[in-house]
Amino acid sequence: MAFRKSLLAVATVAALLELAGATNFTVGAPGGGWDLKTNLSSWASSNIFKIGDNLIFSYDPSSHDVAEVTNANYESCSSSNAIKTYSSGGDAIPLASAGKRYFICGFPGHCVGGMKVEIDTTAASASAPVPPPGSSEASRKAIAGELVVGVGVIGMMIMVLADLCDIGYN
């Protein structure tokens, strides 16, 4: 009984730590990629993007690139006046704040052909403390991490107490 509870406690803490970690989302994966075949809006809506996660655009740079653009230029598929362009073929883009961002391929005809994706980054948790304006991404992540670890430690203490009570009755 006590052993099972301790196992549960360890599993709970591990799950909470996992929640606190960042995820690398390879665009279109698995089963697709940053290309003309993948239904990227379907891919985006099947994932939850959180602050601290990264988008990884993996592609052949002789066939594609990545341009981050405004909402208007996303709708009209215009890659001129891009906010930022990437062309390494393995671009990691941090999702540092909540809100929508728009990425298109700048090669002629590709965006119109479907190579465009809108990413809506959610705040990590509805109950997470709101960081003061101007605080860095690092300190925001630290606050979120401490909160999650704190909850895990309290959970573990409760389970250990429950174990001790069991021993008392035996």
Ligand X SMILES: *[C@@H]1O[C@H](CO)[C@@H](O)[C@H](O)[C@H]1NC(C)=O
x/- site string to Cu ion, residues 56 to 95, per CB under 5 A? Answer: --------x-------------------------------
Q: Are 69 and 78 in contact (CB under 8 A)?
A: yes
- Closest approach of ligand X to the CB of residue 74, in Å: 16
Verify binding: residue 97, ligand X, rule CB under 6 A. no
What is the rounded CA–CA span in Å between residue 170 and residue 86? 65
Verify binding: residue 63, ligand X, rule CB under 6 A. no
| DSSP per position, 33-75 | -SSSSS-HHHHHHTS-EETT-EEEEE--TTT--EEEE-HHHHH
Place of tokens 């959180």: 50
- Closest approach of Cu ion to the CB of residue 70, in Å: 19
The stretch among 30-38, 39-47, 64-72, 126-134 that binds ligand X (CB under 6 A) is: 39-47
